[in-house]
Amino acid sequence: MNNAEFLKEAGVDAVTIADCPIARARVDSSLLACKLHRELALDIIPHMTCRDRNINATKALLFGLQIEGISNVLVVTGDPIPSEDRQEVKGVFNFNSQILAGYIRDLNETMFSNPFMVFGALNLNAVNFEAELAKAKRKAEQGMEGFLTQPVHSQQALINLKRARTALNAYLLGGVLPIVSHRNAVYMNNEISGIEVDEEIVARYEGTSREEAQRLAVTISCQTIDAMRAYVDGYYLITPFNRVEIIAELISHIHAH
């Protein structure tokens, strides 16, 4: 809550809330979205996965968000349950993000007085970006009005962003995730699905102190922001390890340019 208030003062337009990322239980994204909206008067974009609810539970959740004045959702299929947890936890995948987007679109047209704006995810680092782009087009046809991209840390991701700008009739929010150490860069490159970091960037963090790495994180992120500027409608700034002061510097750079 403190960090969200800090970011509000720094000038963010909205805050996203992940829905149990990597399938680990966290505070429900919709409940936390309502708390932030009510107490801080922030626009919130709760993530909504298709992993943990059937369509009835999802419909009930959408009704609750309407009552609380939340009018944005990011719809994603969701990460699978980790293999070590599958004895106790079973995934519910009765539908995917495309189907859910179409369902919300139908509810917008028939039931909701304050229609939801539906966002989706776009993986600019997909190995087969042609297939990813075709999937995004189908999502847009189902009612998704905007896409939040995976972080851009490579020239190929930037090339794919340019292609998406031409191919998609939707808002694009370019993903920016500051890298805060050499270990962080290596981990993201090797362990996080959907993120690719150019080796040149990884090498720049070798031997840096915490303070040097933070300055480098701001420098590289600002360069990424500038490179994306002509192809996006806004920026999806992802806070690393609750270090909101880094995000505040990026916001200042965006406003200054």
User: What pLDDT is stored for residue 60 in this prediction?
Assistant: 94
Q: Which two tokens stand for residue 82?
A: 């980790």
Q: Where are the domains of the chain?
A: 1-177+230-240
Q: Which two tokens stand for residue 159?
A: 């090339």
Helix 55-67 to helix 97-110 angle (10° resolution) is 50
User: What pLDDT is stored for residue 91 in this prediction?
Assistant: 57
Model confidence band, residue 93 (pLDDT cutoffs 50, 70, 90): low
> What is the side-by-side strand order in the sheet with 117-122?
15-17, 44-49, 72-76, 117-122, 146-151, 171-176, 234-237
pTM (two decimals): 0.91
* pLDDT exceeds 90 at position 241: yes
Helix 129-141 to helix 97-110 angle (10° resolution) is 20
End-to-end distance of the chain based on CA atoms, in angstroms?
Answer: 29
- Assigned CATH class of 1-177+230-240: alpha beta
Model confidence band, residue 170 (pLDDT cutoffs 50, 70, 90): very high
* Spatial CB neighbours of 143, under 8 Å, sequence gap ≥ 6: 101, 102, 104, 105, 108, 118
Look at residues 6, 80, 67 and name the one whose alpha carbon lies nearest to residue 33: 67
* pLDDT exceeds 90 at position 222: yes
Largest CA distance in the chain: 58
pLDDT in tens, 37-79: 999 999 999 999 887 788 889 999 999 999 999 999 999 986 5
Mean of all residue pLDDT scores within the chain = 92
Distance of CA 2 to the CA centre of its chain: 20
